[in-house]
A and B are shown apart, each in its own frame.
Chain A
Amino acid sequence: MNQDKKILDINNLNVFYGDLQALHDISFHVRRGSITSIIGSNGAGKSTLLNTIMGINKPKSGDINLNGEKINGLQTNKIIARGVSMAPEGSLVFQDLTVKENLLMGAYLPVARKVREETLGKVYELFPILKEKEDQQATFLSGGQRQMLAIARAIMTKPQIILCDEISLGLAPVVVKDIFKKIEDINKEDGTTFVLVEQDVKRSLRHSDYCFVIVKGKIVMEGVSSEFDEAEIMDAFLGMS
Chain B
Amino acid sequence: MDIIQAIVSGVLLGGLYALIGLGMSLIFGIMKLTNLAHGDLMICGTYICMVLAANFTGNIFLALLITIGVMVLLGFIIQNGLVNRVIDKGSGPSLLVTFGISIIIQNLLLQVFGADAQAVPNTFSSSNVISTQYLTISSIYLLNFIVAVGVIVFLSIIMKKTYFGMAIRASSDDATAAELMGVNTKRMYALTFALAMATAAVAGLLVGMTFVFYPSTGTNYLIIAFGVVVIGGLGSLMGTLVGGIILGLAQLLGGYFFGTGWQLVVAYIVLLVILALRPQGLLSKAVRK
* A→B interface (CB under 8 Å): 54, 56, 75-77, 80-81, 85-86, 88, 92-97, 101, 104-106, 108-109, 113, 153, 157
B179-A108 in contact (CB<8A): no
Number of A-B residue pairs with CB-CB distance less than 8 Å in the complex they form: 66
Q: Give the CA-CA distance A113 to B181 in the complex, in Å.
A: 11
Taking the complex as formed, is B127 at the interface, i.e. its CB lies under 8 A from any CB of chain A? no
Contact B182 A109 (CB under 8 A): yes
Give 1 or 0 for each of B172-189: 1 = CB within 8 Å of chain A CB. Answer: 111011111111100000
Contacts A94-B173, A95-B173, A95-B288; A104 near B180 (Cβ below 8 A): no
Q: A77-B179, A77-B184, A95-B288 are in contact. List 13 more A-B contacts (CB 8 A).
A: A56-B176, A77-B183, A86-B180, A88-B176, A88-B180, A93-B177, A94-B169, A94-B173, A96-B172, A97-B169, A97-B170, A97-B173, A108-B167
- The residue on A at minimum CB distance from B184 is A77
Q: CB-CB < 8 A to A92: which residues of B?
A: 174, 176-177, 180
Residues of B within 8 A of A80 (CB): 180-182
- Identify the 8 closest CB pairs spanning chains A and B, nearest first: A77-B182, A109-B182, A94-B173, A92-B177, A80-B182, A108-B181, A105-B181, A94-B170
Let me know if B134 is at the binding interface, CB within 8 A: no
Q: Residues of A contacting B184 with CB < 8 Å? A: 75, 77
Contact among A75, A96, A106 for B181, CB-based, below 8 A? A106
Q: Pick the contact of A96: B173, B178, B179 (CB < 8 A).
A: B173
Alpha-carbon distance between A20 and B57 when the two chains are bound, in angstroms? 61
Q: B residues within 8 A CB of A75?
A: 184
Main secondary structure of the interface of B (DSSP, over half): helix
Please determine whether B173 and A56 come into contact, CB atoms closer than 8 angstroms.
no
Question: Complex: how many Å from CA A106 to CA B169?
Answer: 14
Q: Specify the chain B residue showing the minimal Cβ separation from A101.
A: B166
B174–chain A nearest beta-carbon distance, Å: 6
Neighbouring B residues of A88 by C-beta, 8 Å: 176-177, 180
Checking A85, A105, A153 against B166 with a beta-carbon cut-off of 8 angstroms, the contacting residue is A105
Separation of A109 and B174 alpha carbons in the complex (Å): 17
Q: How far is the CA of A92 from the CA of B173 in the complex (A)?
A: 10
Cα–Cα, bound, A229→B181 (Å): 37
In the complex, what distance in Å separates the CA atom of A108 from the CA atom of B183?
Answer: 7
- Name the interface residues of B141-168: CB closer than 8 Å to any CB of A: 163, 166-167
B226 CB → nearest A CB, Å: 24
CA distance A105 to B165 in the complex (A): 11
- B182 and A76 contact, CB distance less than 8 A: yes
Q: With A81-B182, A153-B181 in contact, is A104–B163 under 8 Å at CB?
A: yes
How far apart sit A88 and B173, CA to CA, in the bound complex (Å)? 14
- Size of B's binding interface in residues, CB under 8 A: 19
Contact yes or no, A108 B163, CB < 8 A: yes
- The interface residues of chain A lying within 8 Å CB-to-CB of B163 are 104, 108, 113
Could you pull out 15 A-B pairs where Cβ atoms are within 8 angstroms? A76-B182, A77-B183, A77-B184, A80-B181, A80-B182, A88-B177, A93-B177, A94-B173, A95-B173, A96-B173, A96-B285, A104-B166, A108-B163, A108-B181, A108-B183
Provide the B261-289 mask, 1 if CB < 8 A to any CB of A, else 0.
00000000000000000000000010010
CA distance A54 to B169 in the complex (A): 22
Residue pair B182, A96 in contact (C-beta under 8 Å): no
A77 CA to B183 CA, complexed, in Å: 7
The distance in angstroms between the C-alpha atoms of A104 and B161, with both chains bound, is: 12
Contacts of B181 in A (CB 8 A): 80, 105-106, 108-109, 153, 157
Closest chain-A Cβ to B4's Cβ sits at a distance in Å of 40
Give the CA-CA distance A54 to B177 in the complex, in Å.
Answer: 11
Residues of B within 8 A of A77 (CB): 179, 182-184
Which chain B residues in 172-222 approach chain A with CB under 8 Å? 172-174, 176-184
Residues of A within 8 Å of B180, CB to CB, are 54, 56, 76, 80, 85-86, 88, 92
Chain B residue numbers with a CB within 8 Å of A153 are 181
Cα of A75 to Cα of B169 in the assembled complex, Å: 21
Chain A positions within 8 Å of B288 at CB level:
95
Interfacial chain B residues near A85, Cβ < 8 Å: 180
The reply to whether A56 and B179 form a contact with Cβ atoms under 8 Å apart is yes
Residues of A within 8 A of B167 (CB): 105, 108
CB distance from B165 to the nearest CB of A (A): 10
Q: Please give, as numbers and ranges, the residues of chain B lying within 8 Å of A97 by CB-CB distance.
A: 166, 169-170, 173
Closest chain A CB from B277 CB (angstroms): 24
Report chain A residues within 8 Å CB of B166: 97, 101, 104-105
Which residues in A have their C-beta under 8 angstroms from that of B182? 76-77, 80-81, 108-109, 157
Nearest CB in chain A: distance from B241 CB, A: 19
| CB-based nearest B residue for A92 | B177
Beyond A77-B184, A95-B288, A96-B285, whether A105 also contacts B179 by CB under 8 A is no
Cα A52 to Cα B176 with chains together (Å):
13
For B170, B183, B184, the residue with the greatest tally of chain A CB atoms inside 10 Å of its CB is B170
